[in-house]
Amino acid sequence: MLILGVFIGSHQFNIIHPDVIVISDDLRRIALIIILLRAGFGIDNDDLKKVGFTALKMGCIPGLIEGLCIAFTSMKFLNFTFVQVLSPDVNS
């Protein structure tokens, strides 16, 4: 599939329509969602109970630590207030 994509894409024969190239990022994201959904539906309920809390911790704790590090670093080096760090509005 990868070799075929290289050949019919913009690197060799340029067969793919430019509109498809524009939406390729969205198509890749949709494909990833489908892969993750199929993997998730294949999990047995007993297996999920065994590793569920551990998987939840491994999924959430690194993200929280990263977010807090970015928040405190921006407060220290960029002189942001805590409200500015939490605010999703870029224009303020």
pLDDT in tens, the chain (92 residues): 888 878 887 777 888 888 887 888 898 899 999 888 888 777 777 877 888 888 888 889 999 999 899 888 988 998 888 787 777 665 55
Q: Which domain holds residue 51?
A: 44-87
How many distinct structural domains can be found in the chain? 2
Q: What is the DSSP letter of 16?
A: S
- What six digits make up the tokens of 72? 């405190």
Q: Is 92 among the domain residues?
A: no
End-to-end CA distance of the chain: 46
Query: In sequence order, what are the residues at sequence separation of 6 or more whose Cβ sits closer than 8 angstroms to the Cβ of residue 7?
Result: 13
In this structure, the answer to whether residues 48 and 70 fall within a common structural domain is yes
Location of structure tokens 């999703």: 88
User: Is the C-alpha dihedral spanning 77, 79, 85, 88 positive or negative?
Assistant: negative
What's the whole-model pTM score? 0.44
CA–CA distance from 42 to each of 39, 47, 49, 55 (Å)?
5, 10, 14, 16
